[in-house]
Amino acid sequence: MTADMNEHAVISPDHQLPAFAPRHTGLHVIMWILLFLIVAIPLLLVLHHREEAQKAAAAKPAAPGITITSATAQKGDAGVYLDSIGTVTPVYTDSITSQVNGLVDAVHYTEGQRVRKGDPLVEIDSRPYRALLLQAQGTLERDQNLLAQAQMDLERYRAAWARNAIAKQTLDDQEKLVLQETGTVKNDQGAVQFDQIQVDYCQITAPIAGRVGLRLVDPGNVVQSGGNVTLAVITQLEPITVIFTIPEDSLGGVEARLNAKAKLPVDAFDRTAQTKIASGALLTLDNQIDTTTGTVKGRALFANTDDALFPNQFVNTRLLVNTLQGVTLIPASTIQQNGQASFVYLIQNNIAHMRSVTPGVTNGGVTQVDGINPGDVVANSSFDKLQDNAKVVISNQPASGKTHGSKTQ
């Protein structure tokens, strides 16, 4: 057996190997093959998945941009307004009282009636005053005749004096007597006029045109001339005014416009400041500033032909101080804030670019800005997603910046 093994182990005369060498070589090959499979298969799998991912990424469509709405900057005119709270104040308000003592005979007005100047309101018993007037007229007539008699005697004395028929003293006495009678007649005329006025006071008429308030006196009431009882209140409604305040910091601009004889429009809005009630014009300013509030009062005049403004009504006023011509206007909602800085997202080639702007006056949701040009398109939504250089998709036609409160051209 040993001889056989030695016989099989001899390969060549130059190189001798142990009898088990072929078995070790096969194991090495198998180990290398297993090692290759262990390393190569995962690597091939990784490369395959990477290739598949690249193919899927290439086949997948690009992510869409941020969907936004937009607005287009416009060139137009923007008004510089001052907003305030005002009170409707009639031009005239008359509280009518009696000028004589007496019994109320009749009340000719009805509550809420619109009256014209001279319309009868209240009638007071005038009989006592007519009696006094008659007496004064009688006294005047008597004294007028005495004056006429004295004047005739004076003419006779002058003719006699021309013929030296009477003494000069007699002529002089008669001249003075005529002057005395003249004074008496004037006194009587004054008494007649006074009594006539008392009679006229018994017929109380409307001193102005306007609206009468609630009835304050009834027939049969006794009124006095002391003014303790108001017979009627008349308020003028057409035209009517609104008194409002202007900050002292804005007083210079308003005065400059008034000195230039400019007509400054004033609009009156309801309590919510949403509905315009009437339009008028600034009439004048007060002559001093209220130191407690730092404001000055202004009075605006309104025609009020439709009675839209009611006395003592609170309204919101808007005074147009000036108009900026040919400025850039955009919706106020497009302007964003970054601390103290203001900016907009300018859309160019579907890319959003941050652009700093300087906002000015804002009216009716439209703001005048510097920093962009008319015709520029700016973002008007999706600000929580937008960033500089972000890709966007505009979902609407660019909206115009023109709204109420601005004129565009």
Domain spans of the chain?
19-60, 65-91+236-409, 93-234
Burial of 42 (0-12, 13-18, 19+ CB in 10 A): exposed
CATH number of the 93-234 domain: 2.40.50.100
Half-sphere exposure in the Cβ direction for 75 (13 Å, CA)? 5
pTM of the model: 0.66
Domain 65-91+236-409 CATH assignment equals 2.10.10.90:
no
Q: Which residue has the tokens 């000055």?
A: 296
Q: Which residue has the tokens 């091939």?
A: 44
Nearest to 133 by CA among 190, 184, 203, 185: 190
Nearest to 111 by CA among 214, 216, 234, 205: 214
> pLDDT of the chain along its 409 residues, tens only?
444 444 444 444 444 444 444 555 677 777 777 777 777 777 777 777 777 767 665 555 555 678 888 999 999 988 888 999 999 999 999 999 999 999 999 999 999 999 999 999 999 999 999 999 999 999 999 999 999 999 999 999 999 999 999 999 999 999 999 999 999 999 999 999 999 999 999 999 999 999 999 999 999 999 998 778 899 999 999 999 999 999 999 999 899 999 999 999 999 999 998 899 999 999 999 999 999 999 999 999 999 999 999 999 999 999 999 888 899 999 999 999 888 899 999 999 889 999 999 998 888 789 999 999 999 999 998 888 888 888 988 886 555 544 444 443 3
Which pLDDT score, from 0 to 100, does residue 306 have? 93
Which pLDDT score, from 0 to 100, does residue 47 have? 73
Contact 345, 353 (CB under 8 A): yes
Residues 114 and 304: their CA atoms lie apart, in Å, by: 14
Residues 330 and 362: their CA atoms lie apart, in Å, by: 10
What strands, in cross-sheet order, belong to the sheet with 203-205?
203-205, 120-124, 102-107, 222-223
Residues 78 and 30: their CA atoms lie apart, in Å, by: 90
Q: Which residue has the tokens 């014209």?
A: 116
